[in-house]
Structure 1
Amino acid sequence: MLNIGCHLSTTKGFENMGKEALSIGANTFQFFTRNPRGGKAKAIDEKDVAALLRIMEENKFTTILAHAPYTLNACSAEENTRKFALEMMTDDLLRMEYLPNNLYNFHPGSHVKQGVEVGINYIVDMLNAVIKPQQTTTVLLETMAGKGTEVGRNFEEIAEIINRVELKEHMGVCLDTCHVYDAGYDIVNNLDGVLEEFDRIIGLEKLKAIHLNDSKNPFESHKDRHEKIGEGSLGIEAITNIINHPKLCNLPFFLETPNDLEGYGKEIEILRRKALS
């Protein structure tokens, strides 16, 4: 069965996200842990969380994905920004334990002309400070398109971060189809080759989730602009191959396409028809 969902707003609470996911035929979803352009987080309502957990159990949801805000930049040149990232992720991982055994994704960040190695050092320092042995959450590094001074533009940078995390058993990767295509990994014409490279450099056992997005821009553009499924440079055939690939088909897929809830429902319906099982 295809495990697929989309990005939902936390504005109306956790139970509502579960109900919205069901309303569009999803069996998972992604949400921001806090204001994506700021950092403020709502207080945890334990009854609301419990209601979501009931929905997930009763409807056989697969793992869900929490997304850190875009303001989290662990490798910023500004010390206060790095401190903010550390505090925010520490709090997020504590809050995630209300939803045990799920996934937490973040953008590695931008080194802002300090150099990739300096940026990676800062990211590793933060992860080694915040990840605890007892946590049930798996922390995911997202593959990036490589615009500006982004860290995570290739598999080697992702691998270096993971390899230097002390509790790497709590680490994984979220592969974004738009980002990797824009970064120069040809998942349209050479999906098998890209997955072999991922396995050689990072290890496919570390691939825990996929952001399923088409791209507004051409191959290797380093632009990072998502498009609706089948309407971009990847196309519906390539996306169908991705969801049905034997090394990927059991992973959770999360749509981040430019859509409203109804649009996500239509995309999920299309993809369920394309899925082989």
Structure 2
Amino acid sequence: MLIGSHLSSSGGFAAMNQTMAQIGASTYQYFSRNPRGSQKKKQDPKDLALFLKDSPRVILAHAPYTLNPASGTDSVRDFAALVLEEDLLEMESIPGNLYNFHPGCHVGQGKEEGTRLIVEALDRLTQRDLKTTILLETMAGKGTEIGSRFEELAEIIARVPHRQVLGVCLDTCHVHDAGYDIVNDLEGVLQEFDQIIGLERLKAIHLNDSKNLPGSRKDRHEKIGEGTIGLPAMIRIINHPRLNHLPFYLETPNDLDGYAREIELLRRHWREAILIP
């Protein structure tokens, strides 16, 4: 089972690999730079060499929250273009991994125009031969977010000419808050995803419980089993035959000890499930 949590990247890849082992994880997610700013730590060649020597099978880099390629403001879009370009250049030094970002908010100019701008940004990025898979994250639908409906993500992907490097990261809290019933009808939600986007595009899962009622469009994560999604639904998700090969990343409100407990809990239920005749 590929499962991990969000880790601080301040100590570099070698430190994240060590923390991963300490909490019993087999993968991890990290922010590509300051999540609420633009600062980016320069890559250390020695640290990178250690990572390449002893790395997990797949890791996921997450773009900063401030990135918004759908903005109607030129300077905001320019910042998004710079971040995406720099981050993907760095990701190409650790090929075969995943890069995740929130598609963006149209901030009042309309979903159609926001979508056009996201497609434009992705088109520029994907014109070269990338060894990194770029993931669009499913969103909760708060404010003017684009990507809370499967149709919105499918439209973005379909309009990018070099779409072979594009995938999706499904966030359980987000889709629950967006109104998809993953608690009572997981099979139906997956069938809908497959029909609209295609399950072959699903490359990672953010495994988060939710503080909110279904369809609230609020996006507030909760610890596993302590929210409105609940542990039984989480167990069904990690053991679903169309999902259990994917990497799962915890973004729950936890410290490292809390992540270790959640990883152990989920591993126990995953092992129990596959041992049942």
TM class, shorter-length: over 0.9
Establish whether residue 191 from structure 1 lines up as the match of residue 186 from structure 2.
yes
The correspondence for 1:213, drawn from 208, 212, 217, is: 208
Q: Secondary structure at the match of 1:208?
A: strand
Once the two structures are superposed, what CA deviation does each residue of 1:227-249 show, in whole Å capped at 9, x if it has no partner? 00000000000000000000000
Once the two structures are superposed, what CA deviation does each residue of 1:46-94 show, in whole Å capped at 9, x if it has no partner? 11012122222xxxx2311000000100011211000110111011100
Q: Which residue of 1 aligns with 2:48?
A: 49
Establish whether residue 170 from structure 1 lines up as the match of residue 165 from structure 2.
yes
The correspondence for 1:149, drawn from 144, 147, 151, is: 144
Q: Which residue of 1 aligns with 2:22?
A: 23
Q: Which residue of 2 aligns with 1:128?
A: 123
Structure 2 unpaired stretches of 5+: none
Determine if contact 1:62/1:252 at 8 Å carries over to the other structure: no
Q: Which residue of 1 aligns with 2:31?
A: 32
Determine if contact 1:3/1:253 at 8 Å carries over to the other structure: yes
Establish whether residue 229 from structure 1 lines up as the match of residue 224 from structure 2.
yes
Q: 1:268 deviation in Å?
A: 0.1
Please provide the CA RMSD for this pair. Answer: 0.8
Once the two structures are superposed, what CA deviation does each residue of 1:204-238 show, in whole Å capped at 9, x if it has no partner? 00000000000000111000000000000000000
Q: Which residue of 2 aligns with 1:69?
A: 64
Residues in 2 aligned to 1:8 and 1:66: alpha-carbon distance in whole angstroms = 10
Establish whether residue 268 from structure 1 lines up as the match of residue 267 from structure 2.
no
Q: 1:131 deviation in Å?
A: 1.7
Q: Secondary structure at the match of 2:54?
A: helix
Structure 1 unpaired stretches of 5+: none
Q: 1:39 deviation in Å?
A: 1.1
Q: Secondary structure at the match of 1:173?
A: strand
Determine if contact 1:181/1:187 at 8 Å carries over to the other structure: yes
- Quote the sequence identity (%): 60
Determine if contact 1:145/1:183 at 8 Å carries over to the other structure: yes
